């Protein structure tokens, strides 16, 4: 497995996104555990989750607890960096709400610590800006958690360039990751990716294959990805992830998966080398 860095931690160049294993349409627990174990067997050392990755109102943190169970039951579980997030909520009716207040973020972190069964969270990220709370106050809470040793590294998600700079300043230059949506269908995070490249901050694309319901349609929706995939004898999904990896050494995609076979296929992208011409063709999509 090829590796990249988040802060001072070396991780697999492609991580596993846990959300599909806990929200609507999720598989049974046995398949989810098998998916996480398959990722570990293939060399994954980064798993992305959040306390909001659950379906019903009474099961906040479902995905965190699932990941903790999977890691505890595998020999390689201790080598994994778990990245979780706080500040997003799911009332249980399918909607997503926000609470970026310092009080909530600190309480959410404590709850995540308990579910993950750790003394300090490897990477904790502010999930999404809350328009009711000044951004500096939300990130200030993350800084406090970092200073208190409750988290080992700090990141932000769904942030624009201005907020990346602001967060890094508030954190005293200790911002290690930015997790934004980025895929062939969603290219508006290019400025954030470039800024992270300049600053040496890890950029973690979420929904890199277009989302749970559209990942399988990538080749049919974007012909260049299908053409390049056919030329290499691989899936369009592998081509997509290899294209992202080629953009910058700070890029660490976190494709979501709920089947062992799909995460194994995604991980094949680390060995796929695209030509300059192919990358240019894909960039033009």
Give the residue numbers annotated as catalytic, written as ranges: 53
CB 205 within 8 A of CB 192: no
CB 127 within 8 A of CB 139: no
Q: Which of 240, 252, 2 is nearest to 232 (CA)?
A: 240
**Residue 166: burial class (beta carbons within 10 Å; 0-12, 13-18, 19+):** middle
Count the alpha carbons within 13 Å of 27 in the hemisphere toward its beta carbon. Answer: 18
Q: Which of 81, 89, 66 is nearest to 202 (CA)?
A: 81
3-state secondary structure of 201: coil
């Amino acid at each position: 497995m090829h590796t990249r860095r988040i802060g001072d931690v070396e991780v697999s160049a492609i991580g596993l996104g846990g959300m599909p294993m806990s929200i609507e349409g999720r598989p049974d627990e046995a398949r989810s555990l098998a998916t996480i174990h398959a990722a570990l067997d293939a060399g994954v050392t980064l798993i992305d989750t959040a306390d909001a990755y659950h379906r019903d109102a009474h099961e906040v943190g479902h995905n965190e607890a699932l990941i903790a169970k999977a890691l505890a039951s595998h020999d390689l579980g201790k080598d994994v960096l778990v990245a979780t997030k706080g500040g997003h909520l799911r009332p249980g009716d399918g909607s997503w709400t926000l609470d970026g207040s310092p009080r909530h973020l600190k309480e959410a972190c404590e709850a995540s610590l308990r579910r993950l069964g750790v003394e300090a969270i490897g990477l904790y990220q502010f999930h999404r800006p809350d328009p009711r709370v000044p951004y500096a106050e939300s990130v200030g809470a993350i800084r406090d958690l970092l200073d208190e040793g409750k988290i080992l590294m700090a990141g932000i998600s769904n942030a624009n360039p201005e907020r990346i700079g602001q967060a890094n300043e508030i954190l005293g230059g200790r911002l290690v990751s930015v997790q934004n949506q980025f895929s062939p269908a969603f290219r508006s995070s290019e400025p954030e990716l470039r800024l992270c490249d300049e600053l040496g901050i890890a950029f973690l694309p979420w929904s890199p294959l277009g989302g749970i319901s559209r990942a399988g349609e990538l080749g049919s929706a974007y012909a260049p990805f299908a053409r390049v995939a056919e030329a290499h004898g691989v899936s369009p999904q592998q081509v997509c992830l290899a294209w992202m990896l080629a953009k910058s050494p700070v890029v660490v995609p976190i494709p979501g998966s709920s089947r062992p076979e799909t995460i194994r296929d995604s991980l094949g992208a680390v060995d796929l080398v695209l030509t300059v011409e192919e990358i240019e063709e894909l960039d033009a999509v």
